[in-house]
């Protein structure tokens, strides 16, 4: 879930009606922690942890600290509004406009193409949501939506992310091979049950 991997697009979603529950694709309680096995090797682990989470004017800002399998420290900052998750900043810089990396209410068959800008370069990403399926990863079995991404200009990779409600990213593949698989998940204090 690093910034380089998370490149997505700005998409304008219809507002979610008040009181309607949406899936939670980025649990945001401080202390929420994900450990991912990298490239099919459970000894190579990325650790991501929510270190800050605050809400103001209907927007939840979430800061995620990332420790790579080589020990490098990184961060990602997200805004969550009506269930849409937007990457706004990382150690690589600020995303203007922010990139939507998950959409509220996404369902099989949904597609959208949007633009995002980073460091002065503008790119497009087309997202396609597949049918939810049960997948097995080192952390267990999850029902998750696969979300494929096609980049323009092309990046030479077929990238698919699987998102599970209440957990977030549980698996990522690049050209059909595992790149990240959830090894463990710990909900932060005060997380929704």
Q: Is residue 15 part of a domain?
A: no
Q: Is residue 5 part of a domain?
A: no
Q: Is residue 27 part of a domain?
A: no
The 10 Å CB-count burial string (b at 16+, else e) for 136-174 is ebebeebebbbbebbbeeeeeeebbbbbbbebbbbbbbb
Structure tokens at 81: 């509004």
Q: Is residue 125 part of a domain?
A: yes
Residue 20 pLDDT exceeds 90: no
Strand partners, 112: 127
**Which pLDDT does position 22 carry in this prediction?**
57
d(C-alpha 29, C-alpha 31), whole Å? 6
Half-sphere exposure of 143 (CA within 13 A, CB side): 6
pLDDT in tens, 63-115: 999 999 899 999 999 999 988 888 899 988 888 788 888 888 889 999 877 77
Q: Is residue 109 part of a domain?
A: yes
d(C-alpha 74, C-alpha 94), whole Å? 14
* Phi-psi group of 85: left, alpha or beta (phi > 0 → left; psi -120 to 50 → alpha; rest → beta): beta
d(C-alpha 76, C-alpha 88), whole Å? 8
pTM for this predicted structure: 0.82
**Which pLDDT does position 153 carry in this prediction?**
76
Q: Is residue 48 part of a domain?
A: yes
CB of 29 closer than 8 Å to CB of 188: yes
Q: Is residue 75 part of a domain?
A: yes
Q: Is residue 192 part of a domain?
A: no
Burial class (CB in 10 A: 0-12, 13-18, 19+), 83: buried
CATH value at residue 56: 2.40.360
Domain count, the chain: 1
- C-alpha dist (Å) from residue 48 to 90, 111, 126: 13, 28, 26
* Chain-centre distance for alpha carbon 130: 16
Expressed as residue numbers, the domain containing 143 is 33-186
- The closest of 31, 35, 61, 29 to 48, measured between CA atoms, is 35
pLDDT in tens, 148-158: 988 887 777 78
Where does the pLDDT of residue 191 fall: very low under 50, low under 70, confident under 90, or very high at 90 and above? low
């Amino acid at each position: 879930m690093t910034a380089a991997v998370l490149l997505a697009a700005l998409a304008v979603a219809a507002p979610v009606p008040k009181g309607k529950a949406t899936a939670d694709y980025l649990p945001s309680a401080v202390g929420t922690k994900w450990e991912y096995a990298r490239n099919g090797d459970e000894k190579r682990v990325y650790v991501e942890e929510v270190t800050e989470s605050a809400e103001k004017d209907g927007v939840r800002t979430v800061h995620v600290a990332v420790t790579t399998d080589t020990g490098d420290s990184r961060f990602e900052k997200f805004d969550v509004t009506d269930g849409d998750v937007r990457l706004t900043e990382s150690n690589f810089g600020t995303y203007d406009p922010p990139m939507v990396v998950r959409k509220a209410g996404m369902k099989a068959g949904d597609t959208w193409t949007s633009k995002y800008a980073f460091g002065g370069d503008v790119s497009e990403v087309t997202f396609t949501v597949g049918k939810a399926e049960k997948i097995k990863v080192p952390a267990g079995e999850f029902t998750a939506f696969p979300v494929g991404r096609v980049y323009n200009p092309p990046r030479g990779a077929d990238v698919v992310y699987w998102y599970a409600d209440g957990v977030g990213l549980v698996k990522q593949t690049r050209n059909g091979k595992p790149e990240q698989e959830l090894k463990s998940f710990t909900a932060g204090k005060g997380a929704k049950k």
